[in-house]
């Protein structure tokens, strides 16, 4: 999805559309957003992190977005807002509109005649769409996607190239699926018989709520009996594995390389750090934050931040600690014995 020619906007136009308090020359025109360090006179920049105050003083930006507490931090033309990061997101969108995709189905696409596809939908080359699939208004399906039978995709969704949605999955409005994402592959359901694995057919589906974004090559498995559920507003980064019957609560964000095992239930408004892991059948409350690479091995009932990491060190120093890690219980026992001996010595003295 390429960008159109970028529009230019005066500060007056920007504030007219997006709000905020404008201080300075309203006729200043900007074409793009840039960091304080990179910005030129036709750029608007932003000041959201106090560590860059020296860059604010030196910037060549034509204008700056900043928070109300910093309204006088620069003499430059500026837009003062409550939430500069969100405002930045909106200015970026305004200055970088997505190229409209031509509605219609590419002649190379293979679409089952029973599929119901709104006339406003854009379907790219080499897309396959199965029986009874439904695609809502304004949805864009890029080249090479595979959409199974009975799939339902809402309005204004975007499927980047080579996304696979297996049969029967349901995708909400304004969902974004990045390249290589796989929605609805079989869960890892196995029964054991005399040492061999028997596949348990996975007859559930996947339900993806509105405004979800799913990163490149991320996989969300279909449920065993009931559905795997990704609630509205959830954001999944790249290369995440979501196993069968997981439920991720609304507005939770999950960073890259996370693995979530079967039937785990994650609350709303959580954040899961990169490469964290969550074991199966656990429950995590709302507003829980898991640090990077932490393995969650039991349910978490209280909001808060939870962590488990070995601190890194130069290898030869780490080796010395690692040797003791295996023997912590012996260290603890020696400590207990010392305490006992000391107590005896003290008694003897008195």
What distance in Å separates the CA atoms of residue 243 and residue 261, rounded to the nearest whole number? Answer: 5
The residue count for binding its own copies (CB under 8 A) is 133
- Of residues 76 and 270, the one with the C-beta less far from its own copies: 270
Query: Which one of the spans 13-21, 60-68, 73-81, 102-110 is the region binding its own copies (CB under 8 A)?
Result: 102-110
| β-bridge mates for residue 125, sequence order | none
Binding-site member from 80, 216, 283, 347 for its own copies (CB under 8 A) = 216
Using the rule CB under 8 A, give the single segment among 15-23, 60-68, 73-81, 137-145 that binds its own copies. Answer: 137-145
- Answer yes or no whether residue 11 interacts with its own copies by CB under 8 A: no
244 is annotated as an active-site residue = yes
Q: Measuring CA to CA, which residue among 274, 262, 265, 254 is closest to residue 213?
A: 254
Q: Which of 7, 21, 68, 92 binds its own copies (CB under 8 A)?
A: 92
Catalytic-labelled residue, pool 57, 244, 324, 327: 244
If one asks whether residue 40 binds its own copies (CB under 8 A), the answer comes out as: no
User: Buried (b) or exposed (e) across 122-154, using 16+ Cβ within 10 A?
Assistant: bbbeebbbbebbbbbebbbbbbbbbbbebbbbb
Question: Does 200 participate in binding its own copies (rule CB under 8 A)?
Answer: yes
Nearer to its own copies, 71 or 131 (CB): 131
Cβ burial, residue 217 (10 Å; 0-12/13-18/19+): middle
Rule CB under 8 A: choose which of 80, 169, 261, 284 binds its own copies: 261
Residues 142-181 that bind its own copies (CB under 8 A): 142-144, 146, 148-150, 160-162, 164, 166-168, 176, 178-180
Residues in Cβ contact with 90 at an 8 Å cutoff, skipping those fewer than 6 apart: 18
Out of 231, 237, 249, 267, name the contact with its own copies by CB under 8 A: 237
Q: Is there binding between residue 208 and its own copies (CB under 8 A)? A: no
Instruction: Out of 77, 233, 249, 267, name the contact with its own copies by CB under 8 A.
Output: 233
Q: What does the block give as tokens for 134?
A: 């439904």
Interacting residue with its own copies among 83, 100, 114, 116 (CB under 8 A):
83
Q: What are residue 332's phi and psi, to 5 degrees?
A: -65, -40
| String marking each residue 43-82 x if it binds its own copies according to CB under 8 A | ----------------------------------------
Closest CA to 159 of 198, 127, 184, 187: 127
Return d(Cα 272, Cα 294) in angstroms, integer. Answer: 9
How far is 24 from 136, CA to CA, in rounded Å? 44
User: Distance between CA 251 and CA 103 in Å, rounded?
Assistant: 31
Q: Which of 20, 136, 209, 215 binds its own copies (CB under 8 A)?
A: 215
| DSSP code of residue 52 | G
* Residue carrying structure tokens 């305004």: 94
Q: Which of 7, 17, 35, 72 binds its own copies (CB under 8 A)?
A: 35
Q: Does 257 bind its own copies (CB under 8 A)?
A: yes
Q: Which of 252, 265, 188, 176 is nearest to 218 (CA)?
A: 176
Separation of alpha carbons 165 and 171, rounded Å:
9
Q: Which of residues 325-344 bind its own copies (CB under 8 A)?
A: 325-329, 331-332, 334-335, 338-339, 341-342
Which string of x and - marks every residue 284-323 that binds its own copies (by CB under 8 A)? ------xxxxxxxx------xxxxxxxxxxxx-xxxxxxx
Instruction: Kindly state the smallest distance separating residue 140's Cβ from its own copies, in Å.
Output: 13
Provide the annotated active-site residues.
244
């Amino acid at each position: 999805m390429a960008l159109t020619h970028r529009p230019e906007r005066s500060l007056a136009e920007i504030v007219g559309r997006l709000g905020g308090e404008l201080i300075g020359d309203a006729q200043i025109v900007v074409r793009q957003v840039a960091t304080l360090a990179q910005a030129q006179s036709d750029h608007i920049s932003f000041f959201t992190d106090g560590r860059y105050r020296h860059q604010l003083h030196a910037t060549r930006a034509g204008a700056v977005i900043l928070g109300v507490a910093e309204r006088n931090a620069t003499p430059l033309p500026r837009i003062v807002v409550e939430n500069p990061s969100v405002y930045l997101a909106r200015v970026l969108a305004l200055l970088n509109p997505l190229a409209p995709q031509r509605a219609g189905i590419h002649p190379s696409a293979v679409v089952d005649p029973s599929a119901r596809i709104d006339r406003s939908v854009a379907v790219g080359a080499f897309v396959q769409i199965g029986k009874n699939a439904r695609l809502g208004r304004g949805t864009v399906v890029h080249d090479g996607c595979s959409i199974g039978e009975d799939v339902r995709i809402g309005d204004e969704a975007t499927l980047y190239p080579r996304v696979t949605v297996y049969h029967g999955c349901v995708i909400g409005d304004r969902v974004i699926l990045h390249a290589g994402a796989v929605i609805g592959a079989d869960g890892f359901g196995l029964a054991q018989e005399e040492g061999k694995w028997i596949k348990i057919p996975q007859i559930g589906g996947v339900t993806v709520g509105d405004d979800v974004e799913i990163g490149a090559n991320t996989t969300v498995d279909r449920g065993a009996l009931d559905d795997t559920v990704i609630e509205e507003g959830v954001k999944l980064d790249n290369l995440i594995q979501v196993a069968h019957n997981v439920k991720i609560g609304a507005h939770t964000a999950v960073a890259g390389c996370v693995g979530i095992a079967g039937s785990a239930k994650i609350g709303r408004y959580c954040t899961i750090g990169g490469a964290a892991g969550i074991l199966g059948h656990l429950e995590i409350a709302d507003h829980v934050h898991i640090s990077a690479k932490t393995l969650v091995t039991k349910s978490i009932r209280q909001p808060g931040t939870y962590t488990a990491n070995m601190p890194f060190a130069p290898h030869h120093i780490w080796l010395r600690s690692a040797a003791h890690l295996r023997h912590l219980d012996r260290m603890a026992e020696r400590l207990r014995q010392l305490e006992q001996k000391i107590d005896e010595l003290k008694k003897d003295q008195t």
